[in-house]
Each structure stands twice: as structure tokens, then as C-alpha cells.
Chains A and B, each alone.
Chain A
């Protein structure tokens, strides 16, 4: 179970390869891997977005992500889970979030990864400020699934 906040750009696929190389999942134990990657768009509410700043509450953010990871392990039979989330300045096309779940069978992996993403979006203390041509604006609410 790993949670990491990163303040500079990252490649989720490279991150996953490195994570596996560290032996985080015992080879042969897992049959299913579900991976979700969220990427910054260059459009929101019909306006082009040039960049974004992601603010968070250091300490509470990690604490909350660890709490939902523990809850996912309690609800489903998981071998491991991973949440990586960006903060700081982002450009369109850059990955924002990586969620990965390993389990013996696919149902647990699909359901737990969805659960982690939805819980992260609704409760983890992150805030987005978009840079538009006309200036910056805080995103006031998240879009439903």
C-alpha cells in the first residue's frame, strides 16, 4: 500500500515499471492489475485552459489517501494498492493522478480502483486553480464520474 504526492511531472508508466521492479507485488501472486491514469485536459467549461496549479493540505492529504487505501484493502481482497497524485504547476497533457490495484481476480481490482478514485475526488484535500487566457480561476466543484 503506497501513497505518494509529487511536485513535479511524472510518467505513470515508468513509475509503475519501477514500482514493480522494487518487488512491491510478489510475482505470481496476482492475476489482475487495474490501472487508472488521469491527465490534465486543455479545455474546461468551454474555455481553453493553459495551465493549472494544484494546491493540497500537506499531511492531511496523505493521511486521507492512506485511510481510503486501508478501507479498500478491508473491503476487497487486494494484494497491493498505489496512489500517486501531482501537486504544483501542471500543463495540459500532464498526468495528474495514478491509481493502481493488484488482486487475484479482476472484480476486486476493477471495483477497488473505482472506489479509490471516487473517494479521492470527493474527500482528499486538493484544489485546482486553472490558468485561462483572461486570468486564473479556482475550480469550484468536481465533475461527476
Chain B
């Protein structure tokens, strides 16, 4: 099945990928998506993951057409 994978901010720069469409087998988890795309680096503890724009645990399975995003701790708002 096809899914879309996105990276943001410092993680996007480190991984060198902004957005990529990939094919994954059934029952692939979010953590396995990371491993498929970012082959040479293990998933850092502080990386946050979202599925279709909602926060998820990295053990969550993905489905056809999902958008999976990985990003570092958020730093919005004000002083």
C-alpha cells in the first residue's frame, strides 16, 4: 500500500527529506515506516510522530493513503 511520509524542521534537515511517497506492506507500524525511509539512523527517543495530522504512538499500524509525519519537539508560542 502507498503512504506519504513527511519530515519537519531540524529533523527534515538531518534526514534530508521533506516529503516522500513510499510503498509498505500490510501491518507496517509508524516505527517501521521510519526504518524504511531513514535506513541509517534509528528512531530518536524525542521524535514525535503523527498519522493523518494527529499525534500517534510509533507502534500504531499505518493504512493505505495515510500521511505519516516525523518531527522534533515543538517550540511555538512566545517567551
Binding site for B on A (CB under 8 A): 36-41, 54-57, 59-60, 63, 85, 96-97, 117, 120-129, 138-143
Residues of A within 8 Å of B50, CB to CB, are 57, 60, 125
Contact B53 A124, beta carbon cutoff 8 Å = no
Contact A141 B77, beta carbon cutoff 8 Å = no
Contact A54 B73, beta carbon cutoff 8 Å = no
Interface code B41-79, partner A: CB below 8 Å = 1, 0 otherwise? 000000000100111000000000000010111111111
Pick 17 A–B contacts, CB within 8 A, sort by A: A38-B77, A39-B78, A40-B78, A54-B76, A57-B50, A57-B53, A97-B76, A97-B77, A97-B78, A121-B74, A122-B74, A125-B74, A126-B75, A127-B75, A129-B9, A129-B10, A140-B10
B25 CB, nearest partner CB in chain A, Å:
26
Interface of A is mostly: mixed
Contact B74 A55, beta carbon cutoff 8 Å = no
Residues of A within 8 Å of B9, CB to CB, are 55, 127, 129, 138
A141 CB, nearest partner CB in chain B, Å:
6
Besides A60-B53, A125-B8, A129-B9, 11 more A-B contacts (Cβ < 8 Å) are A37-B78, A56-B76, A60-B54, A63-B53, A117-B77, A120-B77, A124-B77, A128-B76, A129-B10, A142-B75, A142-B77
Contact B78 A96, beta carbon cutoff 8 Å = yes
- The total of chain B residues at the interface (CB under 8 A) is 18
B19 CB, nearest partner CB in chain A, Å:
11
Contact A141 B73, beta carbon cutoff 8 Å = yes
Contact B77 A121, beta carbon cutoff 8 Å = yes
Contact B72 A123, beta carbon cutoff 8 Å = no
Residues of A within 8 Å of B77, CB to CB, are 38, 96-97, 117, 120-121, 124, 126, 142
Contact A138 B76, beta carbon cutoff 8 Å = no
Contact A123 B75, beta carbon cutoff 8 Å = no
